[in-house]
């Protein structure tokens, strides 16, 4: 495809932060610099567009950040951008700085905002999937997912040590309101007895049957990994119901919470972020608009933002089946 000119771009991080957003930012800024495109960083996501919080960035402004978690640009959930007036202000600031394209690093909410902005004002947008949930269609992995997964796995390993020592049952909650990728994969990797995810309708009876079977086979401690969005009614209720059914069990609940968002990005996330940040700038140069850069089967692909938002990556049913076979 013939390279066309994009003269000035702005990049921001938005929605929930994820490890590797900095690596993506670094890749965007340095790729832009390589191709002599002026690059502005916008602080606090859409709020920065509205509040005119732009700063010119060059290769040195992104030094020493590839290994840092969080996002140096900061992130925000902007209510004002959901209003027409807010987006109008954002547009005026883009015009003021002569911005002709936005690189939007975030999740599906961020992409919804970008799509509306593009439709209303014609400013080109390209998405880079940065979210720990891995729930975005058009990429095998999202930036931050691998790190969050490893953080969850390491935490569960530590919980297992104490569970074993005291013959306890632990219910461990991991992030994932709508998607069970972290729960399923960290659960398999840490040898969980059962894994409860939003995509699968479990019942307490099934869970109790699994406990019974594991007891018969001589297990004295167990870990059950629970995604935030599981369908059984909340981790504390599940723990209470289990205690009622098995009064002899010593049951504990652990919520991993925000530690899953933090920390230095894994190698896989740094490489993914570097490739997608590069891909976003090159995509804009090639005339891509209102698409998301993603990696599928190790290839850089562009998926219309509309499709990335509407569709969802499916949980691997085979993996689910394997987790059940290996747990007992």
* DSSP category for residue 130: B
Give whichever of 90 and 285 is closer to ligand ATP, judged by the CB atom: 90
CB of 189 to ligand ATP, least distance (A): 22
Q: 151, 190 in Cβ contact below 8 A?
A: no
271 to 108, 152, 168, 178, 239: CA distances (angstroms): 21, 20, 39, 26, 39
Contacts of 305 (CB under 8 A, 6+ apart): 111, 114, 115, 125, 127, 290, 291, 292
- The CB-nearest residue to ligand ATP is 109
Q: Which is nearer to ligand ATP, 41 or 127 (CB)?
A: 127
Give me the least distance between CB of 316 and ligand ATP, in Å please: 20
We find the least distance from the C-beta atom of residue 210 to ligand ATP, in angstroms, to be: 31
Rounded CA gap, 106 and 132, in Å? Answer: 10
Of 106 and 180, which has the nearer Cβ to ligand ATP?
Answer: 106
CA distances from 160 to 46, 223, 225, 250, 263 (A): 41, 7, 11, 14, 21
* Token pair 């960083």 in the structure block, residue: 41
Q: Taking the complex as a whole, how short is the minimal distance between the CB of residue 197 and ligand ATP, in angstroms? A: 17
Residues near ligand ATP (CB under 6 A) are 14-16, 46, 77-78, 81-82, 106-110, 112-113, 116, 131, 133
Q: Could you confirm whether 52 is annotated as catalytic?
A: no
Q: How far apart are CA 212 and CA 198, in angstroms?
A: 23
Of 53 and 194, which has the nearer Cβ to ligand ATP? 53
Measure the CA–CA gap between 92 and 95, rounded to whole angstroms.
5
Cβ closer to ligand ATP: 14 or 185? 14
Minimum separation from the CB atom of position 14 to ligand ATP (A): 5
Percent helix, percent strand, percent coil in the chain, to nearest 5? 45, 20, 35
CA 213 to chain centre: 35
Question: Minimum Å distance from CB 87 to ligand ATP?
Answer: 7
* Candidates 133, 146, 194, 269; catalytic one: 133
* DSSP three-state, residue 224: strand
Select 72 or 251, whichever has its Cβ closest to ligand ATP.
72
**173 within 8 A of 235, measured Cβ to Cβ:** yes
Give catalytic residue positions: 133
């Amino acid at each position: 495809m013939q390279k066309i000119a994009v003269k000035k771009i702005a990049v921001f991080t938005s929605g929930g932060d994820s490890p590797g957003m900095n690596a993506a930012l670094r890749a965007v800024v340095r790729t832009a610099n390589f191709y002599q495109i002026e690059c502005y960083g916008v602080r606090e996501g859409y709020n920065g567009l509205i509040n005119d919080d732009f700063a010119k960035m060059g290769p040195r402004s992104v030094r020493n950040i590839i290994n840092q978690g969080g996002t140096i640009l900061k992130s925000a959930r902007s209510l004002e951008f959901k209003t027409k007036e807010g987006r109008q202000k954002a547009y005026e600031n883009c015009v003021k700085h002569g911005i002709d394209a936005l690189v939007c690093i975030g999740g599906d909410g961020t992409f919804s905002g970008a799509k509306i902005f593009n439709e209303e004002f014609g400013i080109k947008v390209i998405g880079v999937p940065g979210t720990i949930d891995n729930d975005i269609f058009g990429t095998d992995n999202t930036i931050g997912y691998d790190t969050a997964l490893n953080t969850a796995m390491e935490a569960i390993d530590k919980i297992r040590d104490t569970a074993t020592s005291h013959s306890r049952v632990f219910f461990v909650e991991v992030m994932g309101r709508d998607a069970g990728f972290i729960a399923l994969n960290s659960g398999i990797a840490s040898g969980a007895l059962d894994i409860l995810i939003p995509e699968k309708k479990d019942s307490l009876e099934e869970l109790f049957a699994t406990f019974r079977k594991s007891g018969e086979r001589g297990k004295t401690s167990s870990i059950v990994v629970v995604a935030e969005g599981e369908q059984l009614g909340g981790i504390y209720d599940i723990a209470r119901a289990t205690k009622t059914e098995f009064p002899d069990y010593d049951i504990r609940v652990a919520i991993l919470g925000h530690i899953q968002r933090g920390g230095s990005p894994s190698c896989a996330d740094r490489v993914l972020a570097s490739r997608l940040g590069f891909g976003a700038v090159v995509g804009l140069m090639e005339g891509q608009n209102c698409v998301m850069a993603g990696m599928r089967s190790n290839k850089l692909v562009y998926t219309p933002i509309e499709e990335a938002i509407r569709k969802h990556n499916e949980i691997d049913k085979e993996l689910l089946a394997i987790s059940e076979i290996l747990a007992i």
